[in-house]
Amino acid sequence: MKEKLIKEIEQILKTDQVLVGEKVKERYCHIWEMDKPLLAKAVFFPKTTQEVSDILAICNKHHQPVVVHGGLTNLVGSTETNPEEVVICMEKMNAIEELDASSRTITVQAGVILESIHQAVEEEDLLFPMTFGAKGSAQIGGVIATNAGGLRVFRYGMTRNLILGLEAVLADGTVISSMKKIIKDNSGYDLKQLFIGSEGTLGVITKAVLRLQQKPKSRNSAFVALNDFDRVVAFLKFMDAGLAGTLSGYELLWEQNFIAMTSPNTDIPKPLPDGYKYYVLLETLGSDYEKDHNRLEELLEEALTEGMVLDATIAQSGQHLELFWKIREDVDVLVSQCNNVQNYDVSLPLGEIGNYVDHVFKELEQMPEVENYFAHGHVADGNIHFLVGKNKSSRELSHRVNTIIYGPIENLAGSVSAEHGIGIDKKPYLNLCRSSEELCLMGTIKYALDPKGILNRNKIFDYSK
């Protein structure tokens, strides 16, 4: 027999907007685990903000926990469910409502795929700079709810910096709408900040106004080799000053990573020889290919002459450049070389990264269960990703690897998550980077906005009144 809650919601939605029973199991929680059936009482597919509001009002009345599903590309379990939860799936709210080239904004519903936004704005010579590997599946609502990072944070900022207007629905169904195209707004509290990056625990994002940038006319990239982390920092500062505002990416690969990505069986030619400790891949987005290329060349020559860097090479064509970026972006190549892989996205003050990674490598080296490990990252933003392969899968072993990687974070005043969020996977380590007073204040905010704790319950932190 159907629950009262489901019946009430069925009255406000059409038949094709509700899944119950066995149909629910045809869906899933993670795009990475599509073979694992979804556990939930029901899945609802609202088509309007009003429907999201009505569904939440009913769920709130019944103390019914709700999980929101976007593109399901989250890496820390934020979209996981249990059989007692219901799912609100945003895929039917997938319209681009307006592209305003004059104000350089795009107005989108939460279910729009990130890549569709890229394509739409490109036709107007504009750019939505947020981009990352899962762009073909990730929905903008999830991108915002998790404050996604990616490859161009150094120049354009995290998702938080790219949102002008936002509409979100609170647990009780109240619609908080501020769909504005304005860049500056100091009229009272900036409420959208509450919903950006809170992983669906404070409200359901339904729409957003995104800020667009002028599309750059030229792109150049170079690979550079160094052996000393202090010089990685010095070279960043040198290039940042020398390239003024055109430097858009400064990615670092540690030696193991570079070797694995350019080994003979990857078909990717080595831009530089093996044997250095660090490889920097940098990118400029400018306005004139020839001039930007020459400027980059001049600066690299100066850095080589002064001994700041040990080797350097510039991509000589668009195709060549794409090969450079495959070395950084084709993370699947690394994943395929790891058994029982664990991945990380720690954040640290830039100056601390060199010693920290040396220390982590040394510790991993001493663990017989660890088969291999790789490190790369958005180093200019202080963000390092690790991949660790192990000879078996066990919670105890995972925890030991976590302890090696997260352990030093507290003393170094870093974060266990630069980009991916906390979800459920990182909850045990949250207290390494947030004080008890901060965690208590998070609870206060959660309770103020969602007193019954129905929204993504027990994600980020455990909910208790």
Residues 340-359 touching a copy of itself, rule: CB under 8 A, are 347-352
Toward a copy of itself, which CB reaches closer, 2 or 217? 217
**Is residue 140 within the footprint of a copy of itself (CB under 8 A)?**
no
Toward a copy of itself, which CB reaches closer, 24 or 416? 416
Give CA–CA dist 442/176, Å, rounded.
20
Give CA–CA dist 370/388, Å, rounded.
7
Q: Which of 359, 351, 347, 384 is nearest to 230 (CA)?
A: 351
Give buried/exposed letters for 363-389 (b at 16+ CB in 10 A, else e). bbeebebbbbbbbbbbbbbbbbbbbbb
**Which range binds a copy of itself by CB under 8 A, 38-46, 97-105, 259-267, 361-369?**
97-105
Amino acid code (one letter) for 113: I
Checking 398-405 for CB contacts under 8 A at 24+ apart, the result is: 398/342, 400/367, 401/342, 401/364, 401/367, 401/370, 402/342, 402/428, 402/429, 404/360, 404/363, 404/364, 404/367, 405/344, 405/346, 405/360
Residues 425-464 touching a copy of itself, rule: CB under 8 A, are 426, 430, 433-435, 437-442, 444-445, 447-449, 460-461
β-strand partners of 255: none
Binding mask 289-328 for a copy of itself (x = CB under 8 A): --xx--x---------------------------------
* Member of 147, 206, 221, 262 binding a copy of itself (CB under 8 A): 147
* Number of residues near a copy of itself (by CB under 8 A): 101
Q: In what order do the strands lie in the sheet with 18-20?
A: 18-20, 42-44, 86-89, 66-69
**Is residue 424 within the footprint of a copy of itself (CB under 8 A)?**
no
**Is residue 242 within the footprint of a copy of itself (CB under 8 A)?**
yes
Q: How far is the CB of 1 from a copy of itself (least distance, A)?
A: 37
**Is residue 283 within the footprint of a copy of itself (CB under 8 A)?**
no
Which H helix or E strand runs over 356? helix 353-365
**Is residue 100 within the footprint of a copy of itself (CB under 8 A)?**
yes
**Which range binds a copy of itself by CB under 8 A, 135-143, 155-163, 256-264, 269-277?**
155-163
DSSP reduced 3-state for 441: helix
Give phi and psi for 348, each to the nearest 5: -145, 160
**Is residue 248 within the footprint of a copy of itself (CB under 8 A)?**
yes
What single-letter DSSP state applies at residue 137? T
Residues 362-421 touching a copy of itself, rule: CB under 8 A, are 378, 381-383, 413-421
Toward a copy of itself, which CB reaches closer, 6 or 285? 285
Q: How far is the CB of 244 from a copy of itself (least distance, A)?
A: 4
Q: How far is the CB of 107 from a copy of itself (least distance, A)?
A: 11
